[in-house]
Amino acid sequence: MSEFEKSFQKIVDTAVNEAFQKYVNQLSNQEVYMTVGQFAKKLGVTSDKIHSWINRKNNPLPAYNSGERETRIIESEFREWYRKQYRINPGQVGKLIDLKRVQ
């Protein structure tokens, strides 16, 4: 491989790596929406329990109705709601509730 080809390959590799990293960063900044059923399964509670949190008069769990008539919850909003509900420091929420993406 000539010096020109090596230099060109290095430029291409750098550009591809930068583009890939940018794409990964965009994905990691996207919110994770889960249905009530998915969320209940992940937390190990019933869907009725999740609905009771959503329907509370004081400090209800934020939830959104999608066009599919299914209620969806945003993982980051649940974490914040849980933290405020139980007066937990932000760093402790992940230790108490291990939420992973439902696939």
Same domain flag for 64 and 83: yes
Could you report the per-residue pLDDT of 10-48, keeping only the tens digit for each?
888 787 767 766 665 555 567 778 889 988 888 888 999
Same domain flag for 86 and 72: yes
Same domain flag for 19 and 48: no
Give me the phi and psi of 55, to 5 degrees please.
-90, 10
Same domain flag for 15 and 48: no
Percent of the chain with pLDDT over 90: 7
Same domain flag for 45 and 13: no
Give pLDDT, residue 91: 55
3-state secondary structure the chain: CCHHHHHHHHHHHHHHHHHHHHHHHHHHCCCCEEEHHHHHHHHCCCHHHHHHHHCCCCCCCCCEECCCCCEEEEHHHHHHHHHHHCCCCHHHHHHHCCCCCCC
Residue 78 is assigned to a structural domain of this protein? yes
Same domain flag for 53 and 81: yes
**Statement: residue 99 has pLDDT above 60:** no
Residue 101 is assigned to a structural domain of this protein? no
Same domain flag for 51 and 75: yes
